[in-house]
């Protein structure tokens, strides 16, 4: 990671390695480079980007499932009557098999919530439902709206009350208040926003939605993510409080859909919200076959290896000062391999 920082692949990295009982933290590099260099600290807050999908949205859906408020086979139109594809169900959105496209074209031109929701409700399907995995922000925007419809609360409030507060994730939220502690991401210059994004969500669709969306928008720290990791490793418990059940967590580690050929040249497996470990992806080569993982566009990464009782989160602002760099993609599995090789022998 020091090598990548020297090559200016990203300003810095904050990381945590957590077991079911212990936590190990570290950080390297800077918080930002522009418009001036900023010092990275152990409590720097990062834009999680698509880690929001699993930390907030997926977990919220599972909580509602356990409360009997929804079923995975429920059609989305049961809750969102404006959505016209009656056979798209909640499990299709969780596994990215809805047939919806990956993204909304020209998302950077979207200015407000109404524009985004109108686009989402009027999307055509690009594939038959249930036949192909296409990782879709659109699907997770819909899941966020479903959570709000069922709960009668904003996604931000539901996640705060049911996930962040019970897990003592004190610095985790949508639209963070402590903006000065947030790592800057990209310099955005368009008709919607002009300046470096700091404490404002990087994703254009989430930005237009007011910073709160099912696919992106959560900000957090490695200290807070350690609590989430330990909750999963302890079968849904955190400090004697059950957040989700062991039965539900068991299902996170089961492949709901498998696509034999993918853009990465290995089988692509997804469970409810999460990707399942495949040889050589972002979690490296030393994790067990009981590993769930997810990444985020801003340069975030999280995996939880249940068999070895270990999880890791790496947070960077890889898109600072601009997107388009690729070095992090090869650095993540290498860093994971180094960490796992050093720690696993002591866990046996």
With 0-12 CB in 10 A as exposed, 13-18 as middle and 19+ as buried, what is 144? buried
Whole-angstrom CA distances from 89 to 85, 92, 95, 129, 259 are 9, 5, 10, 9, 19
Contacts of residue 224, Cβ cutoff 8 Å, sequence gap at least 6? 164, 167, 168, 169, 170, 171, 172
What are the tens digits of pLDDT across the range 52-73?
999 999 999 999 999 999 999 9
User: At 331, is the secondary structure helix, strand, or coil?
Assistant: helix
Whole-angstrom CA distances from 69 to 35, 55, 79, 126, 238 are 47, 19, 11, 30, 23
CATH superfamily name and code, 2-347? DD-peptidase/beta-lactamase superfamily (3.40.710.10)
What are the tens digits of pLDDT across the range 133-174?
999 999 999 999 999 999 999 999 999 999 999 999 999 999
Q: Are strands 218-220 and 46-47 parallel, antiparallel or unpaired?
A: antiparallel
**If we measure between CA atoms, which residue out of 317, 308, 231, 314 comes closest to residue 277?**
308
pLDDT score, position 348: 67
Q: Per the structure block, which two tokens stand in for 139?
A: 């699907």
pLDDT score, position 210: 98
Q: For each of the chain's 348 residues, which pLDDT tens digit applies?
A: 677 777 777 899 999 999 999 999 999 999 999 999 999 999 999 999 999 999 999 999 999 999 999 999 999 999 999 999 999 999 999 999 999 999 999 999 999 999 999 999 999 999 999 999 999 999 999 999 999 999 999 999 999 999 999 999 999 999 999 999 999 999 999 999 999 999 999 999 999 999 999 999 999 999 999 999 999 999 999 999 999 999 999 999 999 999 876 666 677 899 999 999 865 578 999 999 999 999 999 999 999 999 999 999 999 999 999 998 777 888 889 999 999 999 888 886
pLDDT score, position 262: 63
User: At 27, is the secondary structure helix, strand, or coil?
Assistant: strand
pLDDT score, position 270: 95
CB atoms within 10 A of CB 41: 13
């Amino acid at each position: 990671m020091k090598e990548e920082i020297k090559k200016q692949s990203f300003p810095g990295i904050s990381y945590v390695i957590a077991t079911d009982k212990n936590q190990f933290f570290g950080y390297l590099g800077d918080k930002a480079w522009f418009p001036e260099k900023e010092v990275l600290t152990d409590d720097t807050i990062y834009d999680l980007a698509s880690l929001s999908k699993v930390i907030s949205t997926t977990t919220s859906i599972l909580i509602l499932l356990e409360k009997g408020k929804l079923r995975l086979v429920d059609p989305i139109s049961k809750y969102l009557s404006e959505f016209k594809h009656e056979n798209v169900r909640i499990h299709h959105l969780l596994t990215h098999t809805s047939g919806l496209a990956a993204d909304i074209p020209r998302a950077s031109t979207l200015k407000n919530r109404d524009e985004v929701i109108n686009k989402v409700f009027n999307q055509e399907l690009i594939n038959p439902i249930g036949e192909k995995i296409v990782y879709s922000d659109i699907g997770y925007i819909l899941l966020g709206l479903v959570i709000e419809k069922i709960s009668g609360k904003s996604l931000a409030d539901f996640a705060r009350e049911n996930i962040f507060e019970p897990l003592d994730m004190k610095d985790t939220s949508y639209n963070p208040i402590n903006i000065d502690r947030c790592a800057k991401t990209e310099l955005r210059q368009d008709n919607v926003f002009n300046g470096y994004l700091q404490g404002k969500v990087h994703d254009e669709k989430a930005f237009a939605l007011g910073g709160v969306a099912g696919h992106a928008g959560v900000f957090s720290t490695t200290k807070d993510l350690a609590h989430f990791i330990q909750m999963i490793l302890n079968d849904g418990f955190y400090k004697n409080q059950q957040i989700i059940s062991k039965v539900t967590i068991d299902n996170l580690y089961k492949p709901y859909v498998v696509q034999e050929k993918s853009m990465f040249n290995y089988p692509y497996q997804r469970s409810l919200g999460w990707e399942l470990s495949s040889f050589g992806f972002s979690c490296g080569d030393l994790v067990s076959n009981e590993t769930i993982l997810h990444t985020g566009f801003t340069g975030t990464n999280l995996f939880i290896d249940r068999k070895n009782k270990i999880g890791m989160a790496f947070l960077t602002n890889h898109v600072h000062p601009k997107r388009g760099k690729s070095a992090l993609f090869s650095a993540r599995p290498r860093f994971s391999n180094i960490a796992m090789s050093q720690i696993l022998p002591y866990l046996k």
